[in-house]
Chains A and B, each alone.
Chain A
Amino acid sequence: MEKVVIKDSNYRIRKGKILRTKQLTKLEKLFEIALDGGESLDQEPGQFVMVSIFGVGEAPISVCSSPTKRGSFELCVRDAGKVTGAMHRLEAGDEIGIRGPYGKGFPIRILEGNDLLMVAGGLGIAPLRSLIKYAFDNRRDFGKIHIMLGCKTSDDLLFEDELNQWFKRMDVHYECTVDRAASDWDGHVGQITTLLPGVHLETERTFAIVVGPPVMYKFVLRELIKKNIPENQIILSFERHMKCGMGKCGRCQIQNLYCCQDGPVFNYADIKNMSEAL
């Protein structure tokens, strides 16, 4: 058996240096990363990268910063197992491996000129934040922006300092709810679906972008349909088990679709009849 080094390999790794970390909650940590040699990641909002911890493995992680942020990018990682657990032990100055970006991100060109209703549950705020930040940085290109956030308790809130700023912005309608409230919480209490009925929308020019755990989709979709948002104006982002990110390993398949290539962002109209999707 011969073994040669190849230049073109799809498994080539780009070296990244961690510039800064921040523990957001007990389980989630934020990493700011710069690629070696000042290379740009050149991602679209909603795309993901494969992060390598050598000797442990790779994990797909959404880029949670906007491409308008130059020179570095951010990942918000929940400690969920081997690779993500090993990531949590890294600090500023450590090196990691990056492959990607991969996948189809949010359809920015289609969203431009429309109102956005962005709904995130739990860790779903991580991928959605890339779009929120992009929209803020290009605020004029979008109509009204509504952000609806839900999580279990106020201790699980990610990016809390940023959320507080969103509250203050005049050009954003932001609401947040927790399933269970602590005594010092003065916001909404209840499932994320309780926020939706009260929102005033111009449905024909509103795109709903929903990111969260699978259970959330069913209930949120029901509310959106009730509000008469057309099916092809509902955008979802899915999580599937992924190994290659390139449509080969088969792990992420949703019937005939590859979540890593055809998604992770999908238009609801395209997948609504697929039982493996929802």
Chain B
Amino acid sequence: MKDLQYVILKKENLDGFISRMSRLRKVSAPVAKGNGEYAFEEVDSSDRIELKYKPTIMPPKKYFMPQEETLLEFSTAKGLATKPVVEYEKMTLFGVHTCDLAGIQCLNAVFSVRPRDYNYLTRKRQIDIIGLECGDYCDEHASCSMVSAHMPSGGYDLFFTDLGDYFIVHMNTQAGEEMIEATKCFESAEETHFDDLQSFRKKKRDTFKSEVQIEPRFIPGLFDACFESSIWKELDAKCLACGNCTNVCPTCYCFDIIDEVGLDLKNGKRYRKWDSCQLEPFAKVAGGENFRKERAARQRHRYYRKFRYPVAKYSKFFCTGCGRCSRSCMAGIHLKDTLNALIKESDSKIWKKWL
């Protein structure tokens, strides 16, 4: 039986696909930056695209929620006049791993709950997404399997799985179908292609095992038991409060709002900019109190914003297991180590007895 949702793209036709797409609209894809680092950048052929890459330094969040974005323009020249604006760019993202697809889905949830954020939602509608499956771990920092982000589960228009000489491609949306029709590089998928996909996935299931010894359904309980844990104190001594971990995280979205006036002092803009809960003044108020003064409290907050608070609010973890926070931490704070330490410490605690 033929599954009409699938097509194939021969490897030799990848370049044709990318270059035709790039004539229609901007295409961004992972390219090598040296030192084993990668980044999403604009491409116009497949030449620079890396099909096997470790998570890019910055996640594709940078396109959905740019580091800085104008929210409002104002003028005080002739009385007060204000104009709310959205900045966006039509584009296609090629080669997004399942962890980063999960990250985009987290951001979608945040900015879709009321009050909806029209700046984000307008921009998101202009970005088509082509996923790319991993067959093996990128490195030791990944923990995607623990949170089930190693398998595709929506969030893309097209999804590519590299099966050697060709890609099998899942068409998930009308926009995906239109890309296939517009570029005319694809062929229909046959029985043998599905067999190849089956054996690829089987091998993948054997490779990817939960990286941390806990079942996902027990993670919220683990965190409920660990608020006063001494592990946070240990992180306090290590953390440099630099904010790298939140900047590179695909699900961190805290922001500051800042005004800027032009040289004429009459016209200006209000923009938002990524912020970090790891920075000291983040929770400080005018009276002088700082509600997360200790680095321990700020690190704890970061972990709870990944593994506890969003579970109640959005029914999902806000960690995709991409490993970026661990890779970028100059102090060597590693997410898997922290989780393992919490599990070890709570071994004796009540919740384990119910397993």
Contacts and interface: CB of A to CB of B under 8 A. Distances in A.
A binds B: yes
Interface of A: 1-13, 15, 52, 54-58, 78, 80-81, 84, 95, 97, 213-214, 239-241, 243-244, 246-251, 253-256, 275-276
A100 to B, nearest CB: 11
20 contacts: A2-B88, A4-B88, A9-B119, A10-B115, A10-B118, A11-B71, A12-B84, A54-B268, A55-B265, A84-B286, A97-B82, A213-B289, A239-B285, A240-B283, A241-B283, A249-B254, A250-B255, A250-B305, A251-B275, A253-B301
B261 A55 contact: yes
Contact of A249 (B72, B82, B256): B256
B110 A1 contact: no
A243 B80 contact: no
Contacts of A253: 277, 283, 301, 305, 309
Nearest to B268: A55
A210 B17 CA distance: 65
B186 interface: no
Contacts of A244: 255, 257
B291 interface: yes
Of all A-B residue pairs in the complex, the 8 with the closest CB atoms, nearest first, are: A9-B84, A250-B254, A80-B286, A55-B261, A256-B309, A11-B71, A95-B80, A54-B74
Interface string B270-282: 1010010100001
B259 interface: yes
A213 B287 contact: yes
A255 B224 CA distance: 12
B277 A1 contact: no
A2 B87 contact: yes
A50 B297 CA distance: 28
B75 to A, nearest CB: 8
Nearest to B260: A55
Given A8-B118, A81-B286, A250 B82 contact: no
Contact of A214 (B72, B255, B282, B287): B287
A39 B297 CA distance: 43
A274 B260 CA distance: 37
A13 B82 contact: yes
A256 B313 contact: yes
B150 interface: no
A84 B110 CA distance: 30
Q: Chain A: interface secondary structure?
A: loop
B284 A241 contact: yes
**Main DSSP-derived SS at the B contact region:** mixed
Contacts of A276: 291-292, 297
Given A11-B72, A54-B82, 17 more contacts: A4-B88, A5-B84, A6-B118, A9-B85, A9-B86, A10-B117, A15-B80, A54-B74, A58-B259, A84-B286, A248-B110, A249-B254, A250-B253, A254-B291, A256-B313, A275-B227, A276-B297
Contacts of B275: 243, 249-251
A253 B82 CA distance: 29
A159 to B, nearest CB: 20
Interface of B: 70-72, 74, 76, 79-80, 82-90, 110-111, 113, 115-119, 122, 227-228, 253-261, 265, 268, 270, 272, 275, 277, 282-287, 289, 291-292, 297, 301, 304-305, 308-309, 312-313
A80 B85 CA distance: 30
Contacts of B289: 213-214
Nearest to B309: A256
Contacts of A57: 257-259
Contacts of A250: 253-255, 275, 277, 305
B286 A9 contact: no
Contacts of A10: 115-118
A89 to B, nearest CB: 14
Contact of A5 (B83, B257, B282, B285): B83
A1 B84 CA distance: 16
A76 to B, nearest CB: 14
A261 to B, nearest CB: 9
Residue from A58, A97, A276 whose CB has the most chain B CB atoms within 10 Å: A276
Which of A9, A54, A256 has the most chain B CB atoms closer than 10 A to its own CB?
A54
Contacts of B70: 3
Given A2-B87, A11-B72, A80-B286, A240 B118 contact: no
A3 B287 contact: no
Given A6-B118, A249-B275, A97 B80 contact: yes
B84 A6 contact: yes
A1 B88 contact: yes
Contact of A255 (B76, B265, B285, B309): B309
A54 B122 CA distance: 25
A3 B123 CA distance: 10
B274 to A, nearest CB: 10
Nearest to A242: B285
A56 B270 CA distance: 9
A257 to B, nearest CB: 9
B19 to A, nearest CB: 23
Contacts of B90: 2
A239 B287 contact: yes
Nearest to B301: A253
Contacts of B292: 276
A56 B289 CA distance: 23
A75 to B, nearest CB: 15
B34 to A, nearest CB: 27
A256 B223 CA distance: 12
A246 B112 CA distance: 12
B118 A9 contact: yes
